[in-house]
Every structure is written in structure tokens, then in C-alpha cells.
Structure 1
Amino acid sequence: MTDVSSTPESPWLRRATVDLGAYRANLRHLREVVAPAELMAVVKADGYGHGATAVAAAAVEAGVTWLGALELANAHELRASGIGDSVSILAWQFASTETFERAVAERIDLGISSLAQLEAVARAVASVAEALAPDAAAAPIDAPALVHLNVDTGLHRDGVLVGEWDALVSRAIELRDAGILRLRGVYSHLAEASDDEDTESAETLTEAIGRAEGLGARFERRHLTASSAGLERPELRLDMVRMGANTYGIPVTDGVTAADRGLVPVMTLSARIARVKRIAAGTGVSYDYTYRAPRDTTVALVPIGYADGLSRRSQHGVTVALRGKRYPIVGRVAMDQFLIDVGDDPVEAGDEATLFGPGTRGELTVGEWADLIGTIGEEIVSGLGPRIPRVYV
């Protein structure tokens, strides 16, 4: 996302204000909570819609030394932004034809889920070594790949199946002994379906590590938990916890608020009222007339819609804060706008409406908004589109 600064004199219709101070404070708090385990700040999906390069720089300022990028393009973007290799960046989702030369050269940590990926990494290291020295066979490899082996413990997304684990580990040991890679880590991901099933997954990872060590592997870090289990299951934190949602002040546990976790929501989504209309009782508004005014009232147009990532389900109980008071969304959310019913209150075009934020000015938090429409806060913030500039404070 582009870093857009805005002044009161600059015209704007909609914007997402990203409080980097709140983000850094969340990270410092979470680092203390999970210690002595390390904290990885996950900045995939453009920093959950907050702007990956901006939040990654803030994370480094807060003392974080591990970033989760998901894809290599994201990891390369972070390196290009000035984040040097004193900060580790993990990528783990790759195309089937992925080449890893640039990742090896830029010291990107690679989450490996198959023997094919491991062999592609080995070829990339050989290619990098050849580029570094004309006689690659005689020259030492200065930049071995940084590898984390991923075992599938039940989520069935990434990770090698348990039955294929020994073959992957054995090949990784051969490549390690040849100086081609470092075994930086071993990891998995919990399904978070139930405590018992998460415990079973953790036991599967422990068994896999034991088998790998029996074959001669030595891993620098073990990691398993993300935002939810990382806070609620301290016995599963191991050496590092990967957190995304919590760092942005979006708690992932039902019935738990950001304040309950000692966190502050980082993003505030706002728009300026575009126009105000007085309508008579019985008047239908927006598509399909799903709302008809029960009385003479005033409706105000908010210029954000589903083209900006706002769900069409945002109705029936969802409110927007305006001049310190909440007003309901009425009628269908359209592609570019929606309406709120402000009754007889004085509202003018240009007034700032807050869809969600930290909750300190009467507005909903993103978690509350998500609860009202039956989703999660992460879906909302990561789905906000490019028409909404991110403004960093």
C-alpha cells in the first residue's frame, strides 16, 4: 500500500489510518507475554491490509527479529525496503515451478513442505555458488539455504505427511552435511479445532522431531503456535510463536476483546459524509428497498462499498460513529457507498464517519464489526481495497 499523508485541507473521501505506535506497543506487549519464546510478526497479505513495508519497519523498531511473509515476492519486497539480513524473513508458500536463487542470495528463510521443494532449493544453492565463484566445485558455498522443515500435523494445508517425513529429513541431513543448507527450524500449524486435537497435533510434531533427531537432524528453532494458541496454550509455544492478528489488535478468540488482551486495534477506517438527504416516512432506500424509513428522517451517504472490501452483509445492527454517536447502516451496501439513518441529528456533508477503530470515540472495533456480520476481523482488514489510502501516524 502507498503511504499517503493527508491534511485537513486535503480533500479525501475514505481512508484507513494505521497507528504504528499502537502496533509497536502491541508487539512489545506480546513479546513479553510469550517470552522466553521469540515472536515472529506475520506481515503477509500486505500486513493484513495495513501495509507490509510500513508495519515491518515498525516491527523491527519494536525489537522484532523475525517476520513472516508467506510468499517470496513479499519477502523480496521487505528486503528491498531496507530490512537487512539481521532480521529473518520466513516464506513458505511457493509455486510448483518456484526457483530459489534470489531467496538464497537474500538470506530468506524457506519453509519446506516437500522433497521436490527441497531439491529445488539445493539446485538454487548450486546456482548461487556457481555465480559466486567460477570454479563452484572447489569453492565453498558462502550462502547455504536457510530451511525450516514443515510437517503436517493435521491442518492438511502445507507440510509433508508424516509417512514421508523420514525421507525429507534424511535428504535434508545430506544437504546440510554438504554445506548446502542450514536446518534453521522445524514447524507445523494447528487447526485450532479443539484443545484435544491441538494437543494431538503438538504430540505429532514432538514425535516427528524425535524421529528427525534420531536420524541426525538438529533444529535451531521449533515453532507451532499462532495468535490464538500462542496466548492460550503457553506449553505449546516452543522456541517461537508466529503472530499476525493479535499484533494488529484483532483478538481471535470468541468473546475476547483487544483490551482483554492488553492490545489496541491498529487500524481506523473512516469516510467523509458525501451528502445528506431528508426523506419521508415509508421511503425505501438503496437497492431492493430492504429498509424503509419508519418516520421522517435524514439519511447520510458514506462513500465506501463492496468495491472497497466492505461486506454486503454490513447491515442489521452494524453502526457507524459520527460526532460521537452511533448510527445504523440502512439498506443494501452498494459497490461504492452505503447509507446511515441519522434521524433528526445535525449532520453535514464533510463530517467524518468512523466505521471501526480502537473504540475510544464511540465507534465499533473491527472485532465487533466482524461479530455482527459473522466473520473475523482479519477478513475485514485484509480485504480492504486500494481505493482506500493507508495513512500512517
Structure 2
Amino acid sequence: MKFNRASFLNTHRDAWVEVNLDCIEHNILEFKKYLKKDAKLFAVVKADAYGHGAVMIAPVLLASGVDFLGVSSVDEGLQLRENDITAPILVLGAVPVWSFDRAAQNNISVSVFSDEHIEACRQTYEKLKIKPKVHVKIDTGMNRIGVRPDKAVEFIEKIRACDFIELEGIFTHFATAETESYACEQYEQFKSVVDNVDTKGLLVHCCNTAAVACYKDFDYNMARVGIGIYGLQPDLIKGAKEPFLKPAMSLKGRITNIHIADADEGVSYSHTFETVRKTKIATIPIGYADGVFRGLSNKIYGIINGKKVKQIGNITMDQMMFDITDCDAQEGDIITLLGRDGEEYIGVDEWAKILGTIHYELTCALRVRLPRVYTR
């Protein structure tokens, strides 16, 4: 058995997620074109950088000009701190009141929107003599977390009056940046708050990936980019000339077995695929436990040596099979499930369409048991 092992790969699995750091850098530079001269760029690295690996991605982002990092929890922020990431970090989600002190100890900013959060800040300061850094979250229409616009000015002024809190910023999040009318409505609600408070020295941010590219009038002094960093475009900017984003993620596996099945044989559990001819079947060690959902069975393709091949049979927990009858392949060859091989390309959008979901749900779903390999 011959294995064509790539020199960059050091893993005990014949399956991996490949992340091209040049693509990440390119995407950051594309988004920086849209920012006004002195605006800061906030990169969202929650959910392990949407499945790309936050600890490895963060230094690349910072070296490319990112100023601030966004996570979903204090634990995600601590992971970055424990790996020598010293840049400013904001927890975008709700932080339990008992975690405010841990965040403050590690210079992690938190989102606040309630009197309970103010009290947690007071207790943290009394305990540690450290002023928690906070960003006030304003709910302009997401109906998730945040203080409502009609209460926001009063809440911000209440925080300003607290000598035990460092107010660092105010922000909101668009529910439907793809829908211009509602995005504009949310923006106007946010603007009505911003215009009625003293924002000197504060970071004011509302734009996400789609809004940065499409609503240039919405810019304040910081913009948050999430999925765009990784080369995934929201529907609003698909097909736009700019930004020209490069998907950074590929998913690959090596053929561990090849065998011949006769016509009229079933493949995999429940025999959801039956051969109609003598068929050469290749197996790779990737399955639904890796985040390639069983609902994709018999509906997706891989690429081997620049040629598309069909996945056949139910995807199992740890393995899946392909019909490679019409291509020249051997054990150890690589099948690309996502990404480019030669002239052929398979994007995660194709999987999302099959499953009726969004592309970044699928990148986030790729489990950590798939090693992340970083290339340039």
C-alpha cells in the first residue's frame, strides 16, 4: 500500500481540515478597503473561528491589521489568553455574573445590558480592584439580548456614573443585513441612541460582514467581520465584484480501501445505494461524527486527481464511500470533499443548499477530531 503523504501533515488520521492562511490574509485586506481611514477592524473568532481554529487564526488576523477579537464566551477568550493572544477581546454573548471577575482578571471585555451586570461589575471591582471593561449591547431588532433603544441612553448614562466600570464601547447587531429596509430601520434606531450620548473615547460598532460591504453609510469607528474573514459570503454580497473573498477551508481524506462490487449490490447501511454495474468503490475515514451530516448521503461529490466522483451509500459514523469506477486512483490518494483540486471546486454552499441551512453552520460543525492543517 502506497501513501502519498504530504510533507506538511503530521497526524494519525487520514482525514483533515486544511486552512489556507494566505486566503485569510487576503480576505482581511479586502475588508479593510471598505473601512474609513481610522476605523478599527473587529474579527469574530467565536466557535473556534467558525471551525477554522481560533488559536492558530488569531495571530494571523492580528498581523494582518485586525484590532479587536470577538468570542462568544469567557472560556473562548481564556483559550486565546492562554495561548499568548494579548489583543483586546470582547465576549459578544451574555456573560454569567459569576464570570465577570475572571474576565476582568484576563483583560477580557464583556457585553452588558442589565442592572445585574452593573452589580456584577461593582462586586468584581470590590474584589479585585479592577474595573471591568464593558460594551453596552443594544437590541435594535434581533430580539435576542441587549437593552432596548428606548432604555439605552438611560442605561449608558447609569454606567457612565459608575466609577467601578470602564465603558469601552456600544454596539448592536443586524438581524437581517440582507434585507436593506430592515437593516436601515435597525441602523436608525442605533443611531438615535448614539446621537444622544457622549461617544468620545468609545468604540461604536454595528456593521457585520454584509453591512461592511454594502452599507457604507453605516460605518462608525469599528466594524465587525465574521464569516467574511474565512471567505464565506453572505447572500447580500454574493456575486458582487467586491469584496473578492477566497474560501480558506478545505476538507480532505485519503483513500483507505478500494474494492470492486458487482452489479446489484447494496452499499453501506440500509443499502440506500445499489450498484448498476461492476463498481470500484473507495472508502475514506470521514463520517457524520466528524460533522459531515448523514443527510448528505448519496447527494454530494468528492474530487480525486481533478475529477469529481459521487459519494454513494449512507454516510456512516466514521467513514464514507465513493464510486471511483471511471477514474484512475489508488489507496492513499486524496479525495477532496470541500475545496479545489485542479479545475474542480466544491464549496460548502453546495452542502448548505442540500441541507437547507447556511454555510457557516457546516464549517462550525466540523469536529475537532479532524486535525486542522495550516498551509500557505
TM-score, with normalisation over the residues of structure 2?
Answer: 0.90
Does the 8 Å contact 1:111/1:147 carry over to 2?
yes
Read off the aligned partner of 1:326 and give its amino acid letter: K
- How far residue 10 of structure 1 moved from its aligned partner, in angstroms, is 6.5
**1:168 lines up with 2:168 in the alignment:** no
Q: Distance in 1 between matches of 2:107 and 2:73?
A: 14
After TM superposition, give the deviation of residue 365 of structure 1 in Å: 2.0
Shift of 1:243: 1.0
Aligned mates of 2:96, 2:279 — CA distance in 1: 58
Deviations 1:57-84 (A, max 9, x none): 1111112111111211111221221122
Change (3 A) 1:53 1:228: same
AA aligned opposite 1:105: Q
Cα drift, residue 254 of structure 1 = 6.4
Q: 9-18 or 189-198: which moved more? A: 9-18
2:22 partner amino acid: G
| Alignment partner, residue 390 of structure 1 | 372
Instruction: Report the residue type matching 1:18 in the other structure.
Output: V
Give the alignment of 1:43-192 within 5 angstroms: 43-84=45-86, 87-129=87-129, 143-175=130-162, 178=163, 180-192=164-176
- Equivalent residue of 2:33, what SS? helix
Shift in alpha-carbon separation, 1:145–1:97, aligned structure 2, 3 A = closer
- The Cα of 1:296 is off from its aligned counterpart by 2.0
Residues in 2 aligned to 1:284 and 1:372: alpha-carbon distance in whole angstroms: 23
Decide whether aligned partners of structure 1 residues 260 and 273 sit closer, same or farther in structure 2, where only a CA change above 3 A counts. farther
**Counterpart pick for 2:251 among 269, 278, 282:** 269
Contact 2:232 2:359 in 1 (8 A): yes
Aligned to 1:135: none
Tell me the distance in 2 between the aligned counterparts of 1:151 and 1:360.
Answer: 47
Quote the sequence identity (%). Answer: 29
**Structure 1 position 247, deviation (Å):** 0.3
Show CA shifts across 1:222-266 (max 9, x none): 111211222122222322221111101111216826996312111
3-state DSSP of counterpart to 1:349: coil
Retained in 1: the 8 A contact 2:124–2:131? no
How far, CA to CA, are the matches of 1:284 and 1:260 in structure 2?
47
Give the deviation of 1:154 after TM superposition: 0.6
Contact 2:298–2:311 at 8 Å: present in 1 too? yes
3-state DSSP of counterpart to 1:147: strand
Distance in 2 of aligned mates of 1:9 and 1:256: 36
TM-score normalised by L of structure 1: 0.86
Matched to 1:305, the amino acid is: G
1:200 to 163, 181, 185: 185
User: Cα offset for 1:167?
Assistant: 4.2
- 1: CA distance, partners of 2:335 / 2:45: 28
CA pair 318-237 structure 1, distance change in 2 beyond 3 A:
farther
**Alignment deviations for residues 198-243 of structure 1 (CA, whole Å, 9 cap, x no partner):** 11111111112234x1xx6656121112112221222223222211
**Paired residues of 1:356 and 1:369 also in contact (CA < 8 A):** no
My pick for the range that moved more, 293-302 or 217-226, is 217-226
Give runs of aligned pairs for residues 275-294 of structure 1, distance below 5 A. 275-294=257-276
Kept in 2, the 8 Å contact 1:257–1:367? The answer is no
Amino acid aligned to 1:12: R
- Superposed CA deviations along residues 305-332 of structure 1, whole A, max 9, x for unmatched, are 1100111122354210001101111121
Cα distance, 1:6 vs structure 2: 6.1
What amino acid maps onto 1:19 in structure 2?
N
Given that residues 261 and 281 in structure 2 are in contact (C-alpha distance below 8 angstroms), is that contact kept between their aligned partners in structure 1? yes
CA contact (8 A) 1:6 1:391 kept: no
Give CA deviations for 1:164-191 in whole Å, capped at 9, x if unaligned.
434422320211xx2x223221111111
SS of alignment partner, residue 93 of structure 1: strand
Match in the other structure for 1:238: 220
- Corresponding residue for residue 3 of structure 2: none
Contact 1:278 1:298 in 2 (8 A): yes
The letter of the residue matching 2:313 is G
Deviations 1:125-151 (A, max 9, x none): 22221xxxxxxxxxxxxx433221111
SS in 1 for 2:32: helix
Contact 2:213–2:243 under 8 Å retained in 1: no
CA distance in 2, matches of 1:372, 1:257: 20
Deviation at 1:19, TM superposition (A): 1.4
Q: How many residues align?
A: 368
Maintained 8 Å contact 1:183/1:218: no
2:208 and 2:224 in contact (8 A); partners too: yes
Cα 1:382–1:160 change in 2 (3 A) is same
- Return closer, same or farther for 1:205/1:7 CA change in 2, 3 Å cut-off: closer
SS of equivalent residue, structure 1 residue 98: helix
Aligned-residue RMSD, C-alpha: 2.4
